[in-house]
Chain A
Amino acid sequence: MNKQEIDARFVSIRREAERRAEHRKREAIPTIYIVMSTCGLASGAAETKHAFEEALSHKGIQARIVPVGCLGHCYAEPLVVIDHPASGFPPICYHQVSAGRARVLVGSYLEEGDPVLEYVLGAMERSDLIPSVMDFPRFSLEQRLVMEHCGHIDPDDIYQYIALGGYSALARVLASEPAEIIHLIETSGLRGRGGAGFPTGRKWSLARASETGGNIAICNADEGDPGAYVDRTILESNPHQLLEGLAICAYAVGATQAIVYVRAEYPLAVQTVKRAIRSAKELSLLGPGILGTPFDLEVSVFEGSGAFVCGEETALIRSIEGRRGMPQHRPPYPVEKGLWGRPTVVNNVKTLSSLPSIVQKGGSWFRAIGTASSPGTAVFSVVGNVRHPGLVEIAMGTSLRTLIFDVCGGIPNKKSFKAVQIGGPSGGCLPESFLDTPIDFDSLRQAGAMMGSGGMVVMDEDSCMVDVARYFLDFTQKESCGKCTFCRIGTRHLLNILDRITKGDGRKEDVELLATLSEDIKNGSLCGLGKTAPNPVLTSLRFFLDEYEAHIKEKRCPALKCRSLTAYYIDLEKCARGCEVCVGCCPVEAIFTTRGRKKGIDQKLCVKCGECLVACPREYDAVVKVSPPGLAPIIERPPDEEKSVGGQG
C-alpha cells in the first residue's frame, strides 16, 4: 500500500469533516457549548443544559447546543461558551452558569444582544470588546499539547476532531515503516507519563525486537490516585486523540490487539471511549484493514475494578487475565512476556495522547518544549487550597511557584502556603523552600516527591502534615495487594504509629521508628506501590519534623487539625446572652446554656466538627479552637440542665 492510496482514502474523510464544519459555520446560528464532563455535571451542567433548551424553545430562538469535554477550569464550573456570530462579539466564556443564569443569557444575549458582562469569564478570541481569557495567567502560562482540544470539541463527534487535523498523524504513520516511527519517538525523547518516566521509544523497540509475535498494546487509564483525574478528563473530552495515539503505538510495535484499561468508577469515560471506538471503526480508522492497508487493529475496553495497585503494569495485566491484580517479578518484562504470555506494551493515556502531535510536528519540535531530560508538557490536577483549582498543562521545567501562585492564583482566604503534595500516595510533600524546583521527572524525584499520575494537592497553614501522612498511609495500607511482607505488614505498622501520634499517644522513639521502617519497606517491596508508599512519611519527617515533635512531646497539633489533640470552647467574654445559633447547629447537642445565659461546650459530648465555629456570628466570634485540649477552660454544665438532658436521653 503506498502513500498516495492511504492519503486518498484519508482525504475523503477529512473533506467530509471540513464540509460539516463549514456547514455549521454557514448556518450562522448561535452555538452554546456546555462543559459536560464529570466535574461539570457535578456542578450542575445537566440542569444548565436543560434550562437552555427550555428557554430556547420557549422564546423560539434557534441555537445549537453542543456538549463538550472539560476545559480544566473546575473552579468556574458549570462553564458555558456562547458563540453568537450575529451579535458581533467573539465567542464568550461564561462561568458558574446555573439554570437561572442560563435563562438570563438566552433572554439578554441571544434575544437582545447584551452579553451580560457580570457573568463573563472572558472571550475565547482576542478582540477590543471583551478581555480575552488568553491574557489571563490561568490560560497564557499554560501550554496545551495533550489537552489542546479538550473542551473545544464534542467528544462524541469524530468529525470535529478530524476537522482539527485529527487522525492525519495515523495516516502518515501507516505510510511509513514501524522502525521509522520508533526512531522518531526515540529522538523526541518522550518519556512515559504514568509516573516513572521510562523512555517510550525504548519500550517500543524492546517489544518490537521480541520474537514471540502477536503483540498487544494497552492504554493504562487506571487512574487510582485519590485527587488525580487527568486521565479521566482526557478520556471524556477527547478520546479520539488517545485512540489515534494507541493506533500509532500498535502499528509501531506490531500489535494487532489493543486494550484501553479504564477504571469502572469512571462510567462516563468508559461510555465515551466505547462510542469513540465504534465511530472510528465506522470510518475505518480502527478495526480491520485501517484505511485500506493490511494493518488490523482490534480495540476493546477493559473495565478495571478499582484496585490502586493495578496501575502497575504487571498487576494490570494479571487483572485482565481474570486474576488478582498482584504485581509480578520483572524480568521478564511485559514487553517480552506480558498479557497471555505475549509481548505487551503498556502506555499511559497522556503518553499516547502526546503521540499525534509528535508525528505531525516532528521529534525536534517536541524536544524543544520542556527540559532537556524531560521534553514535553506535564498535566496536573491541582486541587486543595488554591484559588483556581483544576487541570493545568504546563511545559516541563516550569517551577512549582509559577504553577501554584501564577497559574492557579495562589492560596485563598489570606492564608499562607505550607506544602504541596505531588504524586499522590507515592509522592511527597514539599515545603516552601522547594517552590522553585522545576517540574520534571528528575528534579521532583531528587526532591523526594515524584511526578506520579499528576495529582497535586496544595495545602495552606491549616493542614497538619502528620495527618496528611497518616491519610496516605491509610490509603496505601488498604491498597497493598499483600504479596510482599514489608508492604503488607510494614504499611500497617506505619499507619498504627501515625495513628497514635495524631491521637496524642506518640512515643519519643516513634520518629526514628518511622524512618527505619520506611526504609525497610522501600527495600523489601517488589513493585512501585511498596517502594514509594513510605514517601509521604519520609518527606514530611524531613521537612516538617517540628510538627511530629509537637504532636509527640507537647501533645499539640500546630495546625489544629488532629481532632484528638484539639478542643473547642466558648469565650464567655465574647458570647452574647440569648444567642442560640451554636445550639441549633450542633449535631450532638453538646452546647448548653450557662447560668449567665451564655453558652458552654460539653467536652465529653463534643465531636469537634467545627460547626459552631463557623456558625457563631462574626460580631461575637466567641468560639475558640485550641491545641492541646487542656488549654480549653472548663465550663460546668448547670446541674438543672444536666438533669433535663439526662431525662431526654
Chain B
Amino acid sequence: MVQDIAAMLPAFERHRGNLIPILQAIQERHSYLSGAAMKMVAKHLGIGPGEVYGVATFYNQFRFQPPGRHRIKVCLGTACHVAGGEIILENFERKLGIKDGETTADREYSVERVVCVGCCALAPVALLDDDVLGRMLPSKVEGLFVQFEIERQRQEREKVARESGEQARD
C-alpha cells in the first residue's frame, strides 16, 4: 500500500489545493486513510502531518479504519428518521454486535449511518454495498442475515466439494 501511494503522489502537483483530491484518491483505492498514508501526503505537500490529519478528520467522507467486506449503510435522513430509520440501524447493530461506525472482528461487515441517500420516497432505506434496500423493516433485517447465512453455507459446501474433488483427482 505504501508503495502504491508513493507511486500515486507524483501525479499531483505540490499545491495545497490538492490536499483533499489526494486524500480522496487514496481512499478511493485503499478504502481508508492510514496514518502512514497521511504522513506521506504531508511530506509530498510540505505541510505538517497534523495539518493533514486535521483536514481529513474535519470531513465526513474520510475513514481511518478499513471498512468491512460488506458495507451496510443505514440512511438517517429526515424522511427515514420520521419513518423509523433508527430502529433499522439498531437491528443491524444488535444482529452484528457492533455499533455504528464499527467493523465486525472478522472484517465481514461494517455498519454506518449516512445522511440521506436521496430516495426518500422509499424510506426507511438501507444500503448493502451498492444495493438500495427500500421500505426496511426489522423482519427484513432478519431475512437479510438468513440469506447471508444460506449463502455462506452454500459457499462452504462448494469449497468442500471442490477440495474433495481435487483430492480425488490427485
Contacts and interface: CB of A to CB of B under 8 A. Distances in A.
Interface in B135-159: 137-139, 141-142
A322 B78 contact: no
B101 interface: no
A587 B95 CA distance: 9
B55 A383 contact: no
Interface stretch (A35-43, A442-450, A504-512, A594-602): A35-43
B77 to A, nearest CB: 4
B79 interface: yes
A186 interface: no
Interface residues on A, range: 35 or more
A609 interface: yes
With a 10 A CB-CB cut-off, give which of B59, B81, B87, B125 has the most chain A CB atoms.
Answer: B81
B36 interface: no
B118 A232 contact: yes
Given A306-B59, A385-B82, A587-B94, A614 B116 contact: no
Nearest to B131: A42
B121 A39 contact: yes
With a 10 A CB-CB cut-off, give which of B84, B132, B134, B138 has the most chain A CB atoms.
Answer: B138
A450 B77 CA distance: 19
Interface stretch (B1-9, B19-27, B103-111, B162-170): B19-27
Interface in A465-517: 468, 471-472, 475, 481
Contacts of A481: 58
A307 B58 CA distance: 8
Contacts of B118: 38-39, 42, 229, 232, 266
Contact of B79 (A321, A340, A383): A383
Contact of A609 (B21, B60, B91, B125): B91
B79 A384 contact: yes
A226 B78 contact: yes
B55 to A, nearest CB: 6
Contacts of A323: 16, 55
Given A264-B61, A321-B17, A610 B82 contact: no
Interface stretch (A149-157, A161-169, A170-178, A455-463): A455-463
A306 B61 contact: yes
Contacts of B60: 305-307
A614 B120 contact: no
Given A232-B118, A307-B59, A322-B55, A614 B137 contact: yes
Contact of B90 (A77, A385, A463, A607): A607
Interface string B66-97: 00000000001111011010010011001100
A126 interface: no
A38 B127 CA distance: 13
A266 B115 CA distance: 12
A325 B134 contact: no
B123 interface: yes
B24 A264 contact: yes
B141 A421 contact: no
Given A421-B78, A424-B78, A587 B24 contact: no
A43 B55 contact: no
A385 B141 CA distance: 23
Contacts of B142: 587
Interface string A225-237: 1111100100000
B79 A227 contact: yes
B117 A42 contact: yes
With a 10 A CB-CB cut-off, give which of A264, A385, A588, A615 has the most chain B CB atoms.
Answer: A264
B122 interface: yes
Interface in A365-381: 381
Interface string A561-600: 0000000000000000000000001011000000000000
A466 to B, nearest CB: 13
A636 interface: no
Given A39-B119, A74-B119, A611 B137 contact: yes
A325 B120 contact: no
Contacts of B122: 42-43
Contact of A303 (B24, B77, B120): B24
Given A323-B16, A384-B79, 17 more contacts: A224-B115, A226-B76, A302-B20, A305-B60, A306-B60, A307-B58, A319-B59, A323-B55, A324-B54, A383-B79, A421-B78, A455-B78, A471-B81, A475-B115, A587-B95, A610-B84, A611-B137
- Nearest 3 CB-CB pairs, A to B? A322-B19, A305-B59, A227-B78
19 contacts: A39-B121, A42-B117, A42-B134, A74-B119, A226-B76, A227-B77, A229-B116, A232-B118, A303-B24, A305-B23, A307-B59, A319-B20, A383-B123, A457-B78, A468-B81, A471-B78, A585-B139, A587-B142, A611-B139
